């Protein structure tokens, strides 16, 4: 029982990070029906910006987190403006190919700029472990939980309690009608990219803190798993991305603990195949057009 509870805590830590990344996928899809495969690279950029901020400016975790989120948000807006906006009226396959191209452009650009080597993420915190009886939890895991919960609550408040959030929901349902009502669709889409990219940047810093290593290719596989999490929960639905991220994190941790660690990635992709065969709309998905 103690071992199982410990794995649950580890799975929740990993799942919280997947959920932060998955939120960017689901928000963008909910607004413009685009699967932004460059989102994993934005996550990677967030990790490197956090690394550079701590390493060279000698600041703490919170300032590094804010700087990484800001830089990632700016990158997300630039990508939307330069790569996706000119193709908005093109076919979905054109936009999808462009997203894959942008992903490889950022990844290889970072390899050329900083080199392919793995770097140790600066440890700005003493990773104290707290024994709670059936399980123990580290200080870093508590920070991951706390940061993820705060950011997810903030996102929900923005989407449901602000004027821009109402505009986002209107554009996700009917962009043409929203534009006729005076909503600037371009601003809403850019804001959506900014918000989702900021969450991915935060996830990158948390991953660096959790695993203590970063590299230019680190965004590829977590990005795919976060996409699977979004599909599992119901892509285009914010609570679905949160649920999917937690479930993928728990599944991956349990496979490593009680199965074969070499199968951890394969099991996640099997989940994608099964969910597409059994329930393509995801766990929380509906047949209606209600999205973000």
Map out the domains of the chain as residue ranges. Answer: 2-278
Name the β-bridge partners of 137. 130
The yes-or-no verdict on residue 192 having pLDDT over 60 is yes
Check if CATH label 1.10.3470 holds for domain 2-278.
Answer: yes
Q: What is the mean pLDDT of the chain?
A: 87
Contact 170, 183 (CB under 8 A): yes
Q: How far apart are CA 234 and CA 232, in angstroms?
A: 6
Distance from C-alpha of 213 to C-alpha of 204, rounded to nearest angstrom: 11
DSSP-derived secondary structure letter, 288? S
Q: Mind listing the pLDDT tens digit for each residue in 135-190?
A: 788 888 888 888 888 888 888 889 888 999 899 989 888 888 888 888 899 999 99
Residue 49 has pLDDT above 90, yes or no: yes
pLDDT class of 106 with cuts at 50, 70, 90 = very high
d(CA 106, CA 57): 24
Strand, helix or coil for residue 58:
coil
Cβ-based neighbour number of residue 156 at 10 Å: 14
pLDDT at site 287? 53
């Amino acid at each position: 029982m103690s071992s199982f509870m410990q794995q649950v805590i580890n799975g929740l830590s990993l799942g919280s990070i997947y959920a932060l990344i998955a939120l960017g996928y689901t928000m963008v899809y909910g607004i413009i029906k685009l699967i932004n495969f460059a989102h994993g690279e934005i996550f990677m950029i967030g990790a490197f910006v956090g690394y550079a901020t701590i390493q060279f400016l000698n600041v703490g975790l919170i300032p590094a987190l804010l700087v990484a989120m800001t830089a990632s948000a700016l990158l997300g807006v630039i990508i939307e403006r330069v790569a996706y906006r000119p193709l908005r009226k093109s076919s979905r396959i054109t936009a999808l190919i462009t997203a894959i191209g942008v992903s490889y452009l950022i990844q290889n650009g970072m390899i050329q700029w900083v080199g392919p080597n793995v770097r140790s993420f600066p440890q700005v915190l003493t990773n104290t472990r707290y024994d709670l009886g059936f399980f123990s939890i580290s200080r870093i895991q508590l920070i991951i939980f706390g940061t993820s919960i705060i950011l997810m609550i903030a996102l929900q408040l923005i989407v449901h309690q602000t004027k821009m959030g109402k505009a986002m929901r209107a554009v996700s349902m009917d962009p043409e009608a929203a534009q006729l009502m005076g909503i600037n669709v371009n601003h809403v889409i850019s804001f959506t990219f900014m918000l989702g990219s900021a969450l991915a940047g935060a996830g990158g810093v948390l991953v660096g803190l959790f695993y203590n290593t970063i590299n230019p290719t680190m965004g590829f596989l977590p990005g795919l798993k976060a996409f699977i999490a979004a599909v599992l929960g119901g892509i285009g639905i914010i609570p679905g991305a949160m649920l999917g991220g937690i479930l993928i994190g728990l599944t991956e941790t349990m496979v490593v603990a009680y199965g074969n660690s070499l199968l951890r990635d394969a099991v996640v992709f099997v989940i994608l195949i099964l969910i597409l065969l059994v329930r393509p709309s995801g766990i929380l998905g509906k047949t209606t057009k209600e999205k973000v």
